[in-house]
Amino acid sequence: MRTGGRGPDVDCGGARADSAHRQGSGYWPARSVDQFTQAYRARGHRVLVVAPSYENIEPDEPGVARVPAIQRFNGSDFSVILPIPLYLTRSINEFQPDLFHSHHPFLLGDTALRMASIHQVPLVFTYHTMYELYTHYVPFGAVSLGEMAKRLSVGYANLCAHVIAPSRYIAGLIAARGVSTPITVIPTGVDPARYERGEGNRFRRGLGIPEKAFVVGHVGRLAPEKNLNFLAEATGMFLQRDQSAHLVVVGAGPSQSGLMKCLDGAGVGARAHFTGQLDEPDVIDAYHAMDVFAFSSRSETQGIVVVEAMAAGVPVVALDAPAVSEVVEDGLNGLVVSRADPREFAEALERVAGLPPQRRDAFRQAARGTARKYSVDVSAERCLALYSDVLSGARCDISQQIYEWSGFLNRVGEEWNLWANRLSALAGVVPRTGVEQGGP
């Protein structure tokens, strides 16, 4: 990023740098890292991506430094980072960054904070995830763990020079929780042109779906925090009413068997197609095979798959949730269901299915128009401008903040140990589990 007087950034947030060509995993920080990295490099800037190592990666990836990690910890989308190897420090020293950009407060976020202190450069943090909604992946997860995740995230954000929120809702939420660091809303963005064309009929033929059938679709990781039991119940009701309609679900995860069982129980399992994870060309074809995109998650900080569906011209029926409702405009590019009632959601799907061709086409055009507003090119330019502002006015001496962060983590660790000991006393079988001093 030497051009234009701006310096290179280092993405150091625990996200995978696998170019996001394989979709349906649902871990959007990885997608964000990939898309922004490509956009920056296309503009002549230098980027070093620090990411966990995982299976089937290409050896000697240019511009990527890998660190050992345990993949998909306890069935989640997250990787648990192992002790940082010496070669990472050497790679960053050789790169000589002007700015660090972290995409996770735990995992590699600690490393980004310490490296920013060592190199005396500012750290920017993107608040991608509602971390408290993922505590069910931790053994004996409970409300207290959720509160701990909130405190850690806020504490981390307040040690950074700037925080990026992917939606207005998240910006307001984290400010209310106590983030005092300046916050800027910059969506992750998509490349609308990439989704304009797809072979929807080919995709339908591969699944045995008639060309004229009405298809409800969903893309994403099949995990408990995505509220998919609700989606299965609602789409099951719709398929019961429309005997020619089909459901296509792209993605994989621990909730898949439960969803299939629910749809089988509704008597519509034969018309519910689970594809697993797909490479990007097939995902685009899948979007073009859909007549409506169904989305019921309430844990999203933005809802990238909603924007992707719209880029392919697919209207959306979504359960009302703050971040998603910033994208889905009721009656314009889709329908928003205000109550978490499966019957109302099924009725909304029926309304879309019953639209006359002209009205359905208007929905499609409006959806494409919305997707263009979320172009990754626009987001990348805004992010680069933010980097420039941060570099021109950043307070780079964060050594004292590192000590404060370590102390904060130690206090949280002590609280965790007390909580775990109580569980152990109650259950009689839970081993004492602690947080390492100085790290999450």
Written in H, E and C, the secondary structure of the chain is CCHHHCCCEEECCCCCCCCCCEECCCCHHHHHHHHHHHHHHHCCCCEEEEEECCCCCCCCCCCEEEECEECCHHHCCCCEECCCCHHHHHHHHHHCCCEEEECCCCCCHHHHHHHHHHHCCCEEEECCCCHHHHHHHCCCCCHHHHHHHHHHHHHHHCCCCEEEECCHHHHHHHHHHCCCCCEEECCCCECHHHHCCCCHHHHHHHHCCCCCCCEEEEECCCCHHHCHHHHHHHHHHHHHHCCCCEEEEEECCCCHHHHHHHHHHCCCHHHEEEEECEEHHHHHHHHHHCCEEEECCCCCCCCHHHHHHHHCCCCEEEECCHHHHCCCCECCCEEEECCCCHHHHHHHHHHHHCCCHHHHHHHHHHHHHHHHHCEHHHHHHHHHHHHHHHHHHCCCCCHHHHHHHHHHHHHHHHHHHHHHHHHHHHHCCCCCCCCCCCCC
Burial class (CB in 10 A: 0-12, 13-18, 19+), 419: middle
Lowest-pLDDT range of 8-12, 159-163, 167-171, 275-279: 8-12
CATH topology of domain 193-374: Rossmann fold (3.40.50)
Lowest-pLDDT range of 140-154, 231-245, 343-357: 140-154
In this prediction, residue 65 carries a pLDDT of: 84
CATH topology of domain 3-189+377-427: Rossmann fold (3.40.50)
In this prediction, residue 188 carries a pLDDT of: 86
pLDDT band at 298 (very low <50, low <70, confident <90, very high): confident
* 3-189+377-427 and 193-374: identical CATH topology: yes
Domain boundaries of the chain, sorted by first residue = 3-189+377-427, 193-374
pLDDT tens per residue, range 6-54: 444 445 544 433 333 344 444 456 777 888 999 999 999 999 998 877 6
Read off the pTM. 0.78
pLDDT tens per residue, range 255-264: 999 999 999 9
